[in-house]
Amino acid sequence: MEVLFLLWSFVLFSGVTALPVDIDDTDVIIVDAGENSIDGDDFAVDVSSLGPEAFGLPQNESGDTVAEWTESSLMNPEEMGGYAEGDILMPQLGRNGMRETTSRWSNGIIPYVIDTTYTKEQRDNIMRAIADYHRLTCLRFVPHSGQTDYILIKNTNTGCWSSVGRIGGRQEVNLQAPGCVSKKGTILHELLHAIGFLHEQSRPERDDFVTIQYGNIKTGAENNFKKADAKRTYDYGVSYDYNSVMHYSEFAFSKNTQKTIVPKMKDMKLGQREGLSRGDVKKVNNMYSCKKQEPTTGWVGQVWQNFMGSKTRRSVMI
């Protein structure tokens, strides 16, 4: 009883902002498309804010930079690329090469193929990320079996990158090993781009929550910190999320090891890559009109959600 009381007191009164729940998510269960609790048809994902720099070809230079990333690096590996916002790469279409919209994945079904060059440990980490989406959302990643639209998870020396939303046909998500597959959160991050989401700090209201230190940003990378147009974005009912797996780290694109993003809320850490935040999950489920209830796995998750989930602006990882 004393142990339970201590644990109960810890959950209620500690200042913990992110409390992962210990669960077994290593197995991916393939669910038939008819079992998805998703309403509605496809709709457009606005990518007009990305600009012409988002359209191009993979770069070995970005891969060489990401190859230098280690666990002790100040920034995340996807923040080291030379693509739009570091890791967004849209294929060119026709002569002008640009598009303003992509699509949501039909019925939340995402066919996939995984490159055979990954080690077992690296592939298992990818599958753990996929398992998180199955456990927490209505999205279903299914092995590719002839579908026209699908993602190919590749391991080439071009860094960490993805397109945003479903672009039609085969689309690539590059997760260069080992850097881009070292943390489950980096995999979740790139897959969230493919699902249809942009970076958290590009939200139009971000200046109310963080301060961008432009004097510390590498020359030429300033455009990575531009904000999306408020008239062309939608927050899916989720307020600004410091703990989103889609948020830049505090040292993203720093030229001098000084912070480029400073949170206005005291003691907040940015750029976690351990797992989806509750805000991430809610946004995915709202975008895809998923009827799945917000998860409260385990007694710790239940207590935290009941007592803290709706009373704090800090989004808890799950």
Domain boundaries, the chain: 44-289
Q: Using 50, 70 and 90 to split pLDDT, how confident is the model at 262?
A: very high
Torsion angle (degrees, nearest 10) of CA 43, 153, 125, 244:
-40
HSE on the CB side for 47, CA within 13 Å?
Answer: 32
What is the model's pLDDT at position 153?
A: 98
pLDDT of residue 46: 74
Specify whether the CB–CB gap between 79 and 250 falls below 8 A: no
Instruction: Report whether 144 belongs to an annotated binding site.
Output: no
* Least confident interval from 2-11, 40-49, 65-74, 259-268: 2-11
CB of 276 closer than 8 Å to CB of 285 = no
228-254 residue pLDDT tens = 888 888 899 999 999 999 999 999 999
3-state secondary structure the chain: CHHHHHHHHHHHHCCCCCCCCCCCCCCCCCCCHHHCCECCCCCEEECHHHCHHHECCCCHHHHHHHCCCCCCCCCCHHHCCCEECECECECCCCCCCCCCEEECCHHHEEEEEECCCCCHHHHHHHHHHHHHHHHHCCCEEEECCCCCCEEEEECCCCCEEECCCECCCEEEEEECCCHHHCCHHHHHHHHHHHHCCCCHHHCCCHHHCEEECHHHECCCCHHHHCCCCHHHCCCCCCCCCCCCCCCCCCCCCECCCCCCEEECCCCCCCCCCCCCEHHHHHHHHHHCCECCCCCCCHHHHHHHHHHHHCCCCCCCEC
Of 302, 305, 267, residue with least CA distance to 15: 267
- Residue 39 confidence (pLDDT) above 80: no
pTM for the structure as a whole: 0.82
Lowest mean pLDDT among 48-57, 145-154, 175-184: 48-57
For the chain, what percent of residues have pLDDT higher than 70?
76
d(CA 222, CA 309): 35
- 295 pLDDT band, cuts 50/70/90, is low
Whether the predicted pLDDT of 21 surpasses 80: no
Q: Is 310 a residue whose pLDDT tops 90? A: no
**283 pLDDT more than 90:** yes
Please tell me the distance from the alpha carbon of residue 124 to that of residue 246, in angstroms, as a whole number.
22
Mean pLDDT over all residues of the chain?
A: 83
Q: What is the CATH number of domain 44-289?
A: 3.40.390.10
Q: What is the pLDDT of residue 54?
A: 87
190 is catalytic: yes
pLDDT at 48: 72
> Per the residue annotation, which of 79, 172, 190, 250 is the catalytic one?
190
